[in-house]
Amino acid sequence: MVQVASQRSFGIDYAHDCFLKDGKPFRYISGSIHYSRVPRDYWKDRLLKMKMAGLDAIQTYVPWNFHEPEPGVYTFSGDRDLEHFLELAEEMGLLVILRAGPYICGEWDMGGLPAWLLEKESIVLRSSDPDYLAAVDRWMGVLLPKMKNHLYHNGGPIIMVQVENEYGSYFACDYDYLRYLQNLFRHHLGDEVVLFTTDGAVKTFLRCGTLQGLYATVDFGPGSNLTMAFLNQRKSEPKGPLVNSEFYTGWLDHWGTRHFTVPASVVAKSLSNILAHGASINMYMFIGGTNFGYWNGANMPYAAQPTSYDYDAPLSEAGDLTEKYFAIREVIGMYKELPKGPIPPTTPKFAYGEVALEKVGAVRDLLNDLSPSGPVKSTYPLTFVQLKQYFGFVLYRTKLPRNCTENTTLLTLFDGIHDRAYVSVNGVSQGVLSRSHVSKLNITGNAGAYLDLLVENMGRVNYGRYNNDFKGLVSNITLGGEILIEWEMYPLDIDKAVSQGLHNETVGDISNYEEPSFYTGSFSIPSGIPDLPQDTYIQFPGWTKGQIWINSFNLGRYWPASGPQVTLFVPSNILVSSSPNNITVLELEGSPCGTQKCLVEFVDRPNINASLHYESDFRKLFSRGFV
C-alpha cells in the first residue's frame, strides 16, 4: 500500500546522530548518476542496475546551462526531462539526493553555470554580485517549484537538496551568498526538506563552504584517513549523521593524460570501512556516462576533459556491469538485505564495421551553410560571448597586411587563444595555436591573403576561481609585432547546418586534407539480425581531432592523436533501421583521406585507455589540479 504523503517524513535526529525516515533511524547508501550524461532511453536500465546493487538512493546534479541555454529560454523535455527522471527513480523505489546548484562542478561545462552570465564581463560568479543573484533568482524560481512536488514529504523521492557545491574550494568565501541561497531554497521548498552542503574533508574547505542551517557533509576517496575526515565533519557538525557525499569510485580524465583507474578491491575495502562506521555514503560516480556534444568541462592549468565520462565507475560509460559493480554489491550485502530478482544484463554491442566517408568541403567553403547571417565585423576580435556563440566554433578572418614571403611570427598576447585555433592562409594550413601550450606560429602568405583562425571552445573551466572562462580570441593577435585589425567573425551553427545538410557551392580544393573540413558517409543497419540496432562504438583510424554527428546528433569530440580516449560510445537510440544512418565528421587537423582509406569504423568494444606516451601526470588521484 502506498504511504500517504502526510505520513512521510525525512529529517535529522541530532540526539542520536542519524537520519530519521518516517520516524525511524535511517542510513542511506547512494550512487551518483547524471541524467544529462545518459540518454533518456537508458535511464530506466541504469536506475534498475543501481537498485539491484543494493542502493537506497541516487544522487544527481541539475546543470543550469542544460536547461536555460539562453536567458529566459527553458527546456525540460526529452533528455532534459528531469521530472520524468525523478518519477522513474520513484518507480524503482530509489530515494533521490538532488544537487540543485546553481553551481555544480561535475566536470561539466562551466560547472553548470550558463555562459551567457559572462555577458557582464565584470560579473563575480558564485557571489553576492547583484547581476549574478538576479539570474540565480529567476532560474531557481523556475526549477525549485518543479522540484517541490517531488520532495519526500510531498509523496516524491527527494529526501535532501544540496545548496551550491564545494563552495569552500572557491576564493570568494561569501557567506551572504550562501545565506541568500538558503533563504531562496527555503522560500521555494519550505522548511521541512533537509538542505545540505558538500565540501572536501579539510578544515580550510569547510570554513568557507558551510553555514548554520545547512547540514555540512564531506567528500573523500578510497585510501583517505577516515577518522580524520569525519573528525573534520564533526568540527562543523558536532551532532548528526556522518556523511560522505562523494566517495570516489574512480576519477576523471583529461585529454593527453592517462586514463585513471581505481582497483575494485580498494574501493570495496574503503566502502566497507565507511559503512562499518555507520556513515551514510554516496558513491561518485556509480555510472559516469558521456559528455555528448560540447558539454565537457576543463581544469586549470587548462586541460579539457574527454567525451567519455566513464570514471572507472561500477557501471561503465555504456552501463555495463563490471567487476567493481559486483564487489560493491557484495560489500553492501554485508550491511543490508539485497533486493531479490535478476540484475539487468549488460546491453549487447554490435560492430557495424567500416563506413567510407568523402569530403564535402572545407569550413571556409561552407560558410553560407554554417553562418547564414554572415560575419560580424569589428576592429579587434570579439569573444564567443560577445558574439552570442556559447559553444563550438567561430571562424576569425582578417587579411595579411603585408607580404610574408619569409616566416613571420603570428603571436597571441597574454595566452589569448581560448582554446585552440586552427590557422590557415588562403586555405593552406599553417599550424595550431593552443591555450597554455602554443602561443606563436611562423606563417607565410601574400599581402591581402585571407588569414583564418578557426577557434574551438574545448570546454569551460568547471572548478576553481577561473570558471569565468571567456572563449575565442580573448586578446589581440600580432603578426611580426604588428597588432592585426579589421576582423570578420563567423559564428558557426554547425548543429543546424548538419541537420539541414551541407552543400558545397564553391569550387574549393577537394584534395586538401589538412585544413578543417567536413566529411560525410552513411551506413545501414543489417537486416535479418534480431534486436538491431544495438549500441556500438566508433573509432577514427588515421584521423587526428574533430567532432562527429550521427543522424544530426552531436556525439562529441574525438582526438585519438592525444588520447586516452580512442572510441566514442554510440547509444542505439540515435540509430535507425528504417533508413541509412548519416555520419558527419568535422576533422580539424588532418584526415587520412589523401594517403590512406577514408573511413571510420564501428566496433563492439571501447578503448578509452590508449597507452600513448604521456609525460608524467601533473595531477594526482582525487585532486582536480592546482587551482
| Predicted pLDDT of residue 511 | 72
Nine cell digits for residue 323: 567487476
pLDDT in tens, 552-577: 999 999 999 999 999 999 999 999 99
- The confidence score (pLDDT) of residue 503 equals 85
Q: Comparing C-alpha atoms, which of 31, 8, 30, 10 is closest to residue 20?
A: 10
- pLDDT at position 508: 60
The backbone torsions φ and ψ at residue 54, rounded to the nearest 5 degrees and listed phi first, read: 105, 10
| 314, three cell numbers | 561500477
The pLDDT of 454-465, averaged and rounded, is 97
Put residue 465 in one of left, alpha, beta given phi > 0 → left and psi -120 to 50 → alpha: alpha
The answer, yes or no, to whether residue 297 has pLDDT greater than 70, is yes
Q: Are 111 and 462 in contact (CB under 8 A)?
A: yes
Report the pLDDT value the prediction gives residue 529, as an integer from 0 to 100: 83
Number of H helices, E strands in the chain: 11, 34
Cβ atoms within 10 Å, residue 133: 17
**How would you write 141-184 as a 3-class SS string?**
HHHHHHHHCCEHHHCCCEEEEECCCCHHHCCCCCHHHHHHHHHH
> In angstroms, how far is CA 180 from the centroid of its own chain?
27
Catalytic residue numbers read: 166, 246
Residue 331: CB atoms within 10 A of its CB come to 20
Q: Residue 507 — very low, low, confident or very high, per pLDDT cuts 50/70/90?
A: low
Whether residue 55 contacts residue 29, with contact meaning beta carbons closer than 8 Å, is answered with: yes
Mapping DSSP to helix (H, G, I), strand (E, B) and coil, where does residue 376 land?
Answer: strand
Beta bridge partner(s), residue 550: 553, 583
Apex 256 CA angle, 251 and 260, nearest 5: 20
Would residue 511 be called left, alpha or beta, if left means φ above 0 and alpha means ψ between -120 and 50 degrees? Answer: alpha
What is the Cα–Cα distance from 351 to 343, expressed in whole angstroms?
Answer: 25
User: Do 549 and 487 touch, CB atoms closer than 8 A?
Assistant: no
Strands across the sheet containing 18-21: 10-13, 18-21, 24-26
Which amino acid is it at 537? Answer: Y
| CB-based contacts of 373, cutoff 8 Å, min separation 6 | none
Q: Please report the pLDDT score of residue 624 as a whole number.
A: 59
Q: What's the mean per-residue pLDDT of the chain?
A: 95
Residue reference for cell 597586411: 401
- Residue pair 490/389 in contact by the 8 Å Cβ criterion: no
- Per-residue pLDDT tens for 91-113? 999 999 999 999 999 999 999 99
pLDDT tens for each residue of 12-52: 999 999 999 999 999 999 999 999 999 999 999 999 999 99
Which pLDDT score is estimated for 530? 85
Tens-place pLDDT, residues 404-435: 999 999 999 899 999 999 999 999 999 999 99
- Give the span between the Cα atoms of 172 and 126, in whole angstroms: 8
Beta strands 404-412 and 215-219 are: unpaired
Asked if residues 312 and 250 have their Cβ atoms less than 8 Å apart, the reply is yes
Predicted pLDDT at 618? 47
In the chain, the amino acid numbered 199 is D
Mean local confidence (pLDDT), 351-375: 97
Residue with cell 521555494: 188
Separation CA 530–CA 536 (nearest Å): 15
Asked if 147 and 100 count as a contact pair (C-beta separation under 8 A), the reply is yes
Report how far apart the first and last C-alpha atoms of the chain are (Å, whole number): 51
Between strands 536-539 and 568-570, the pairing is antiparallel
Q: Which three cell numbers stand for residue 196?
A: 545540505
Which ranges constitute the DSSP H helices of 169-317?
175-189, 203-209, 226-236, 264-276
- pLDDT recorded at residue 6: 63
Q: Does residue 351 register a pLDDT over 80?
A: yes
3-class SS at 109? helix
pLDDT at 627 over 80: no
Q: What angle (nearest 5°) sits at the alpha carbon of residue 415, between those of residues 559 and 544?
A: 15
With cut-offs at 50, 70 and 90, classify the pLDDT of residue 173: very high
pLDDT (tens digit per residue) in 66-78:
999 999 999 999 9
DSSP code at position 454: E
Is there a contact between 584 and 234 (Cβ–Cβ < 8 Å)? no
Mean pLDDT of 332-340: 97
Distances (CA, A) of 296 to 58, 73, 228, 415: 22, 22, 33, 21
Q: Which DSSP symbol is given to 528? A: S
